[in-house]
Amino acid sequence: MTRALPNPDRPLRIGTRGSPLALAQAHETRDRLMAAHDLPDTAFSIVVIKVTGDAIQDRPLKEIGGKGLFTREIEEAMLAEEIDIAVHSMKDMPTEQPEGLVLDTYLPREDVRDAFVSHGVERLVDLQPGQRVGTSSLRRRAQLLNRRPDLEVVEFRGNVQTRLRKLQEGVADCTFLAMAGLNRLGMGHVARGPITPEEMLPAVAQGCIGIERRSGDTITADMLAAIHDAQTGLRLAAERAMLATLDGSCETPIAGLALLEGNEIWLRGEILRPDGSEAIAEEGRGPAADGAALGEEIGRRLLSRAPAGFFDWRAA
**Could you tell me the residue ranges of all domains in the chain?**
12-107+208-228, 114-195, 237-306
Q: Which long-range contacts (CB under 8 A, 24 or more apart) does 151-157 make?
A: 151/127, 155/60, 157/57, 157/58, 157/59, 157/60, 157/61
171-to-116, 119, 179 alpha-carbon distances in Å: 16, 12, 21
What is residue 12's predicted lDDT score, i.e. its pLDDT? 97
Q: Which long-range contacts (CB under 8 A, 24 or more apart) does 295-298 make?
A: 295/237, 295/238, 295/239, 295/240, 295/241, 295/242, 295/243, 295/244, 295/245, 295/258, 295/267, 296/241, 296/242, 296/244, 296/245, 298/242, 298/245, 298/256, 298/267, 298/269
Neighbours of 311 (CB within 10 A): 20
Q: Which residues are catalytic?
A: 92
What is residue 282's predicted lDDT score, i.e. its pLDDT? 98
261 in Cβ contact with 234 (< 8 Å)? no
Q: For every one of its 316 residues, what pLDDT tens digit does the chain have, with 9 covering 90 and above?
A: 445 789 999 999 999 999 999 999 999 999 999 999 999 999 999 999 988 765 555 455 555 455 566 788 999 999 999 999 999 999 989 888 899 999 999 999 999 999 999 988 999 999 999 999 999 899 999 999 999 999 999 998 788 888 999 999 999 999 999 999 999 999 999 999 999 999 999 999 999 999 999 999 999 999 999 999 999 999 999 999 999 999 755 467 999 999 999 999 999 999 999 899 999 999 999 999 999 999 999 999 999 999 887 766 544 4
What is residue 156's predicted lDDT score, i.e. its pLDDT? 85
String of DSSP letters for 275-300: TSS-EEEEEEEEEGGGHHHHHHHHHH
What is residue 314's predicted lDDT score, i.e. its pLDDT? 41
84-to-130, 211, 212, 223 alpha-carbon distances in Å: 49, 10, 9, 12
What is residue 308's predicted lDDT score, i.e. its pLDDT? 80
Q: Which long-range contacts (CB under 8 A, 24 or more apart) does 259-268 make?
A: 259/235, 260/231, 260/234, 260/235, 260/288, 261/285, 263/287, 263/288, 264/288, 265/234, 265/235, 265/238, 265/290, 265/291, 265/294, 267/238, 267/239, 267/242, 267/291, 267/294, 267/295, 267/298, 268/197, 268/201
Phi, psi of 154 (to 5 degrees): -120, 150
pTM: 0.90
User: For strand 12-16 and strand 44-48, is the pairing parallel, antiparallel, or unpaired?
Assistant: parallel
What is residue 315's predicted lDDT score, i.e. its pLDDT? 41
Question: CB under 8 Å to 99, separation ≥6 — which residues?
Answer: none
Residue 246 burial (C-beta neighbours within 10 Å; 0-12, 13-18, 19+): buried
| Residue 144 half-sphere exposure toward CB, CA atoms < 13 A | 27
CATH superfamily membership of 237-306:
Porphobilinogen deaminase, C-terminal domain (3.30.160.40)
Coil, strand or helix: which one is 67? helix
What is residue 73's predicted lDDT score, i.e. its pLDDT? 92
CATH code assigned to 12-107+208-228:
3.40.190.10
Neighbours of 250 (CB within 10 A): 24
| CATH 3.40.190.10 fits domain 114-195 | yes
Domains 12-107+208-228 and 114-195 agree in fold: yes
